[in-house]
Every structure is written in structure tokens, then in C-alpha cells.
Amino acid sequence: MITLALSKGRIFEETLPLLAAAGITVTEDPEKSRKLILPTNQPDVRVVLVRATDVPTYVQYGGADMGVAGKDVLLEHGGVGLYQPLDLNIAKCRMSVAVRADFDYAAAVHQGSRLRVATKYTHVARQHFADKGMHVDLIKLYGSMELAPLTGLADAIVDLVSTGKTLKANNLVEVEHIMDISSRLVVNQAALKLKRAQLRPMIDAFASAIQP
Ligand code: ATP
Ligand code: MG
């Protein structure tokens, strides 16, 4: 049995064409079903639905043989025990610093002010500001970072941006682009050795279906 860990939503949707290239069709719709384990047309392949941030953990400990996780999630997890053979070029967005439209970020940086930065991505944020030689106080959040600068919780946020509509709707502006983000295939290292005959052709089929 091959178990693939996916998160619901954009990663699930954007992984389907890659699965199709490997001859795999998920036979139940996760938006309609309450099941957390979804069967496929292949009796020896199943999909487990987990929270996006839990995908690396499932694969690391063998709860799943393979999974699809965002670079953001992998950087926070650390990637320990994971083989990352492919950038799937799906769920694309960028990680950015954003502030309230009326906040003069350039002046704050220039003056060396100690900024309060709210984010779910504390590892990436810490590294980013350390590289710039900036002193920041990081505040860990788990949801809706956009609210932090609006309520005075923080001066800035580090968050994912795709269209920028959410920032705009909340009167925030992007002031720094930290990195481009896409999702990668992650594989359990032991599974790759033990189930190589099944996993290798799947990985090759995914690779052949990646869109530029
Ligand atoms: P939840 O929404 O349940 O709190 P999450 O935000 O981690 O969890 P998703 O919103 O489904 O989960 O995001 C999954 C992955 O998709 C993220 O880890 C990231 O790599 C990518 N992603 C997030 N937001 C966007 C976006 N706006 N555009 C494109 N990709 C995104
Ligand atoms: Mg989300």
C-alpha cells in the first residue's frame, strides 16, 4: 500500500493532474465526503487528508509514504528525514513583509527601530531579518496575520501573498518580497528504499507532468 498525504483545498486540487499522469484517480471528493482516507482507482494507493502543516510530519514518521507540502511549511518544519525530489510548481505564491499603508517601513528600517513582526513563519522571518541586520520581536500567530498591524499587535507581518487582494482589502501594503513559494513532493526516506518499485515510477510520472 502506498499512502499519499495531501491537504484539502488548492494543494489537493492542483495535485490531481499530477496523479492522473501516474494513472491515479481519487474516487471520492474531499469537499463532499467526511472521510479522511480517500480511496483511488488503484487498490494499493490511498490518499490521507491532513492539515497542510502536518504533511511533513506524517511523511517523516511514515504515517504516509509521500506527500505534497508548500516550501513555506517545509522551511518551518526543517525537512528532517524527508527526501524532496521534485518542485511540483503548484500552489504558487510568495512570502512577503507587509505593513499598514500609513506605516513608513523604509524610515523604520533606516532608523534601526525595533519592529514587532507577527507571523506564522517564525523561522523564515527570523532568518530574513537577521540577514538584514534588523532587530525584530517576533510574535507567533496561527491565523489571520492581516489583523495584527490593524489592531496594533504588530508593526509588520510576514505572510503568503498571491494576488494581493487580501492585503489590499485590509489596507496593507507589501514592502518586501522574501521568497517565491511553491509546493514540493516529499518522500519518506525508508519508504523510498523499501517501496522503490512502486514509488519510483510514480515520482517519474509526476516529474513528467510538471507545468513550467
Ligand atoms: P489553513 O488554511 O487550514 O489554516 P494553510 O493556510 O496552511 O491551512 P492552505 O491555505 O490550504 O493551508 O495552504 C496550503 C499551502 O498552499 C500553503 O502552505 C502554501 O504553500 C500554499 N498557499 C497558501 N496561500 C496561498 C495563496 N494565496 N496562493 C497560492 N498558494 C498558497
Ligand atoms: Mg490558508
pLDDT in tens, the chain (212 residues): 999 999 999 999 999 999 999 999 999 999 999 999 999 999 999 999 999 999 999 999 999 999 999 999 999 999 999 999 999 999 999 999 999 999 999 999 999 999 999 999 999 999 999 999 999 999 999 999 999 999 999 999 999 999 999 999 999 999 999 999 999 999 999 999 999 999 999 999 999 999 99
Residue 27: burial class (beta carbons within 10 Å; 0-12, 13-18, 19+): exposed
In contact, 90 and 182? CB cutoff 8 Å: yes
pLDDT at site 63: 98
Cell reading at 104: 513608513
Is there an atom of ligand 1 within 6 Å of 88 CB?
A: no
Give the type of residue at 97: V
d(CA 28, CA 140): 36
- Ligand 1 centroid to residue 62 C-alpha, Å: 23
Give the type of residue at 11: I
d(CA 26, CA 16): 8
Is there an atom of ligand 1 within 6 Å of 41 CB?
A: no
- Ligand 2 centroid to residue 73 C-alpha, Å: 11
The DSSP H or E segment spanning 115 is strand 115-119
Residue matched to cell numbers 512577503: 96
- Ligand 1 centroid to residue 160 C-alpha, Å: 8
pLDDT at site 174: 98
In contact, 11 and 183? CB cutoff 8 Å: yes
CA dihedral angle for residue 30, residue 26, residue 92, residue 56, rounded to 10 degrees: 80
Is there an atom of ligand 1 within 6 Å of 54 CB?
A: no
d(CA 15, CA 26): 11
| Dihedral sign from CA coordinates of 31, 36, 42, 45 | positive
- Ligand 2 centroid to residue 21 C-alpha, Å: 27
pLDDT at site 56: 98
pLDDT at site 208: 98
Is there an atom of ligand 1 within 6 Å of 27 CB?
A: no
Which of 189, 186, 209, 199 minimizes the C-alpha distance to 73? Answer: 186
Q: Domains of the chain (ranges plus CATH)?
A: 2-91+182-209 (3.40.190.10), 93-181 (3.40.190.10)
Pairing of strands 45-49, 115-119: unpaired
Cell reading at 81: 528525514
Question: What is the CA angle 24-29-32, rounded to 5?
Answer: 170
The SS3 assignment for 162 reads coil
- Bridge partners, 5 (sequence order): 48, 67
pLDDT at site 169: 97
